[in-house]
Structure 1
Amino acid sequence: MIAAIGLMSGTSLDGLDICLAQFWKDNFCWKFKIIKAETIAYPDSLENQLRDSIHLSSQELLALNSSYGFYLGEKVKEFISENNLPQVNLVASHGHTVFHQPKRKFTLQIGDGRAIKLTTGLPVVYDFRSQDVLMGGNGAPLVPIGDEYLFPDYNACINLGGFSNISFTSENKRIAFDVCPVNIILNKLSRNLSQKFDENGDFARKGKIDDLLLKKLNSLDFYSQNFPKSLGIEWCNTHIFPLFEDEDPNDLLATFTEHIACQISEVINQFQLKKVLLTGGGTYNTFLIEKLQNKTKAELVIPEKDIIDFKEALIFAFMGVLRLNNEINVLSSATGSYKDHCSGIIA
């Protein structure tokens, strides 16, 4: 049995997810138990730095990479000491994504793992995505390895985070790809209403769908591309935000929520998926879930809160365990790289 802490900072900047879990094998099948998990809200100053990091100079970005790494290390130390946790064997950190351009062979997740190691004294695995991008992959999605081994009872797993991604098994291969933006758009629109997010989808529920905008969104080239494929903030800046004109934020939220439901349900129905696990912050958007359920006959399963909130952090902890064991933790069928591989830098 090995105990690992997973760290996840999503593009929607909800905060830092920390998850301590134990992993073991039972009859050659991986099992897990979440021991403790929590989300730590970012101070406003750090949240703003991370949100604006794509615009920083190279020197400012390098400084943030270091300072954010030390911040992560301090939060891990506090997490361990305040909760009287059992022995921790390693920390696995996703980092915070600044750039993601796999076609140009680079992706960047800041939060230097060496700073986490220096602060905590624990082995750290970090930078899980770069190797896959260099191998011709999208560097995303990475969680399908955890979906495959830790959640085998579902036909598919869908995460509703900054972006929505899906993974499922087809013809003995784990297929995965990003479906569409979710909270990275909804949260930005909500800030126009002086809110960090659209709680329960209440603002969207008040709005009216703009049919012309919806048609433009659903016609974007990305949705007709073959998988594997992935999305980043750069794509949203180029293809989504320019479509938004100066109209009622409620209407924009209503229209984009409808767009999300259209894209996700289309994938579920196309592959005739019967039992789907939903996780991520978007799962709490009851208006979105209602819309999604109305567009598909699939059983949409909303699990316990720890799985909803911390599944990605849990799986990065699992990926760290696989990395220390030199086992495959990235699936080429999900990312498009030329072979399955074992990824992550060890500090």
Structure 2
Amino acid sequence: MPDAELITAIGAISGTSMDGIDVSIVSTDGDARVTTGPGRTYPYSEALRAELLALIADPVRAEGDELVEIEAAVSDAHAGAIQQFMADCGIDRDSVRVVGLHGQTVYHRPERRFTRQLGDGQRVAATLGIDVVNRFRHADIAAGGEGAPLVPLFHRALAAGLEQPLMVLNLGGVGNVTYIDGDAVIAFDTGPASALLDDFVRKRLGKPYDEGGRLAASGQADATMVAGLMKHPYFDRPAPKSLDRNDFHAWAKAVQSLGDAEGAATLAEFTAASAADAVRHVPKRPLRWLVTGGGRLNGTFMNLLRQKLGVPVQPVEAVGWDGDFLEAQCFGYLAVRSMRGLPISLPTTTGAPAPMTGGELWRAPCETEGAP
């Protein structure tokens, strides 16, 4: 059977930290062949970011309101980011077959078979003049899966030549892992990652995050409090499993009683402990951990993980991957898989009853002759 053609796809996502829209490009057959390109991040306007943060703090509204205006604003921000990316990188529109539009998650409750990502595929396709695939999580959720994480099959494609078993840890707002050992792929959310610490630092110091983990490094973690936080029932649930960005905020409320440095140190210790606890849910102890997401730049997170795991823990750049844009590249890759009717999740990655296809395709409007 001849190889499937390589398709050029752009992926775009704003993660749970909401610090910007990540855009990148891949060329792939949607299977084992993947070539990645450059990536860029384009921040939301301060007004839109503030509105989004307020929305995710109001779950009743995030679930029930129509959100027409804010979804239009998020869609336009993504379309604008993709247009700017193509201009910045000299990418011709006609060379791009499809855009994988993850959008912005504002509510995720798989136990109720409900998830919500803002991003109107039809609107973005019309703006760009490029086909768009969005709503990647919905079919998996409807079938009884967790709808997350969706990056594992992309990790598997990239990791084909690496020593295994291997663990890939993404430290975004929430932490998630992909365990890869040949054909075996297991994935799940580990617990909090940057979201708890980011929100703590923003509230205490008015800063968006603990740069480099320096505040956490300057304090002493409250070991008793960390032990209590690790008693959350989520950690004993078998994989696969997933979280909403805010699932641990109420659980970790007691940290607010600590000083700035001690509170940051305690949340960093909790993040590292919850990630390291993931080894309980995989068949073999990984030989190596590769860390992606913004949390890989937090030296305190990385040092704590090395101490707890006792094996090499490295940023994904150690194997030539781009940790800033891995998820954006993933949704370009998944858009191609979606177009080819290939699964984008497995029972061992989301808990769905069978390998699941997913995504909804929106065709770019045909240009009318003589139109401007």
TM-score by length of 2: 0.87
User: Given that residues 268 and 296 in structure 1 are in contact (C-alpha distance below 8 angstroms), is that contact kept between their aligned partners in structure 2?
Assistant: no
User: Given that residues 69 and 114 in structure 1 are in contact (C-alpha distance below 8 angstroms), is that contact kept between their aligned partners in structure 2?
Assistant: no
Residues 1:225 and 2:233 are matched in the alignment:
no
Q: Which of 248, 258, 261 pairs up with 1:250?
A: 261
**Deviation, structure 1 residue 230:** 0.6
Residues in 2 aligned to 1:253 and 1:126: alpha-carbon distance in whole angstroms? 36
**Matches of residues 189-228 of structure 1 in structure 2 within 5 Å?**
189-191=200-202, 192-228=204-240
Residues 1:61 and 2:72 are matched in the alignment:
no
1:111-164 deviation per Cα after TM superposition (whole angstroms, max 9, x unaligned): 111111111010000011111111000101111111112222251211111111
Residues in 1 aligned to 2:237 and 2:196: alpha-carbon distance in whole angstroms? 21
**Matches of residues 130-279 of structure 1 in structure 2 within 5 Å?**
130-152=138-160, 153=162, 154=164, 155-169=166-180, 172-191=183-202, 192-240=204-252, 242-268=253-279, 271-279=284-292
User: Given that residues 192 and 274 in structure 2 are in contact (C-alpha distance below 8 angstroms), is that contact kept between their aligned partners in structure 1?
Assistant: no
What secondary structure sits across from 1:226 in the alignment?
Answer: coil
Change (3 A) 1:106 1:122: same
Q: Which of 3, 28, 33 pairs up with 2:8?
A: 3
Q: Which of 294, 297, 300 pairs up with 1:287?
A: 300
Residues in 1 aligned to 2:299 and 2:271: alpha-carbon distance in whole angstroms? 13
Partner of 1:23: 28
Partner of 2:369: none
**Deviation, structure 1 residue 245:** 3.2
Q: Which of 341, 355, 359 pairs up with 1:340?
A: 355
User: Given that residues 129 and 140 in structure 1 are in contact (C-alpha distance below 8 angstroms), is that contact kept between their aligned partners in structure 2?
Assistant: yes
| Unpaired stretches in structure 2, ≥5 consecutive residues | 1-5, 363-372
Residues 1:83 and 2:89 are matched in the alignment:
yes
**Deviation, structure 1 residue 177:** 0.5
1:249-274 deviation per Cα after TM superposition (whole angstroms, max 9, x unaligned): 22111011111222222324774110
Count of residues paired in the alignment: 343
Residues in 1 aligned to 2:119 and 2:15: alpha-carbon distance in whole angstroms? 13
Letter of the structure 2 residue corresponding to residue 68 of structure 1:
V
User: Given that residues 268 and 298 in structure 1 are in contact (C-alpha distance below 8 angstroms), is that contact kept between their aligned partners in structure 2?
Assistant: no
Give the CA RMSD over aligned residues. 1.9
Residues in 2 aligned to 1:170 and 1:78: alpha-carbon distance in whole angstroms? 38
Q: Which of 276, 281, 300 pairs up with 2:313?
A: 300
Work out the percentage of aligned pairs sharing the same amino acid: 28
Change (3 A) 1:232 1:59: closer
Residues in 2 aligned to 1:125 and 1:111: alpha-carbon distance in whole angstroms? 10
Letter of the structure 2 residue corresponding to residue 75 of structure 1:
A
Residues in 1 aligned to 2:122 and 2:97: alpha-carbon distance in whole angstroms? 16
Letter of the structure 2 residue corresponding to residue 36 of structure 1:
P
Residues in 2 aligned to 1:178 and 1:70: alpha-carbon distance in whole angstroms? 30
| Unpaired stretches in structure 1, ≥5 consecutive residues | none
TM-score by length of 1: 0.93
Moved more, 48-57 or 283-292: 48-57
What secondary structure sits across from 2:190 in the alignment?
Answer: strand
